[in-house]
């Protein structure tokens, strides 16, 4: 930090003579500077100082990327679903590079991603099992009775807070499609007031079970 401060002061002091020379030239009879030219020269000197300062700051505060993190990030699918327990693929890659996470937590990547990460990091780990969403509820429009008309935000989380939802079954699908909206691959669709899963498109990210607020 002391070295950075010294460099900044050096840059400021180096620009002061330029500004002083400009003003002295403006005061001498040999140089007939107009107000516009004087402002132009002064602005140029100020921009020069700012440019030097930016160059120094970018040099001393530059944070190099971890090459291991970049390699790990290239192995991840980039869906940023959060199924691994981290905010996204970048955070998970950082944790892997630091040795703070297991390489088998990427559910969408499955066994292929876990194998690639294990080989890259040199860690033997059990490959994750393939997970596919499944809807246990059979409460479609003809089967589930309505106990009330819900008027409010059209999502399951909000509807469930009002007496457990508008259907007589408190544990069934409410049919507002919140799970279908958060899925990154469109594996879930709504038919007859109930969610349906396409197993061929489901990557097992788990976002349908725990949708973000």
pLDDT by position in tens, the chain (length 213): 455 555 555 655 555 565 555 555 555 555 555 655 656 666 666 777 777 777 776 666 666 677 888 899 999 988 888 888 888 899 999 999 888 888 888 888 888 888 899 888 888 776 666 778 888 777 676 677 778 888 888 888 888 888 777 777 777 788 888 888 888 888 888 888 788 888 888 888 778 877 665
Q: 130, 115 in Cβ contact below 8 A?
A: no
Q: Which residues of 78-114 are buried (b: 16+ CB within 10 A; e: fewer)?
A: ebbbbbbebeebeebbbbbbeeebbbbbbbbbbeebb
The β-bridge partners of 188 are 197
The distance of Cα 86 from the centroid of its chain, to the nearest Å, equals 10
What are the residue boundaries of the structural domains of the chain, listed by start?
A: 2-60, 67-121, 131-213
Helix (H) or strand (E) holding 191: strand 188-191
Cα dist from 167 to 30, 152, 159, 161, 193, whole Å? 92, 15, 10, 12, 11
CA dist 15 and 12 (Å) reads 5
Is the fold of 67-121 the same as that of 131-213?
no
List the CATH code of the domain at 67-121.
1.10.15
Q: Which CATH number fits domain 131-213: 1.10.10, 3.30.70, 1.10.3470, 3.30.160?
A: 3.30.70
């Amino acid at each position: 930090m002391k070295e950075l401060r010294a460099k900044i002061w050096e840059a400021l002091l180096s620009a002061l003579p330029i500004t002083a020379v400009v003003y002295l030239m403006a005061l001498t009879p040999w140089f007939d500077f107009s107000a516009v030219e004087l402002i132009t020269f002064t602005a140029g000197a100020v921009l020069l100082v700012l440019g030097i300062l930016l160059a120094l700051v970018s040099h001393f505060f530059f944070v190099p990327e971890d090459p291991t993190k970049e390699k790990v990030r290239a192995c991840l699918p980039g869906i940023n679903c959060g199924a691994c327990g981290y905010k996204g693929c970048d955070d998970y890659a950082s944790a892997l590079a630091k040795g703070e996470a297991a390489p088998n937590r990427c559910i969408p990547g499955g066994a292929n991603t876990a194998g690639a990460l294990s080989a890259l990091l040199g860690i033997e780990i059990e490959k994750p099992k393939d997970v596919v969403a499944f809807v246990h509820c059979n409460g479609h429009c003809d089967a589930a009775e309505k106990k009330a008309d819900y008027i409010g935000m059209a999502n399951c989380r909000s509807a469930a807070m009002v007496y457990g939802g508008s259907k007589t079954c408190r544990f069934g699908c409410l049919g507002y499609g919140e799970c279908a909206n958060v899925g990154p691959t469109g594996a879930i669709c709504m038919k007859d007031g109930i969610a349906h899963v396409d197993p061929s498109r489901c990557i097992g990210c788990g976002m349908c079970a725990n949708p973000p607020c």
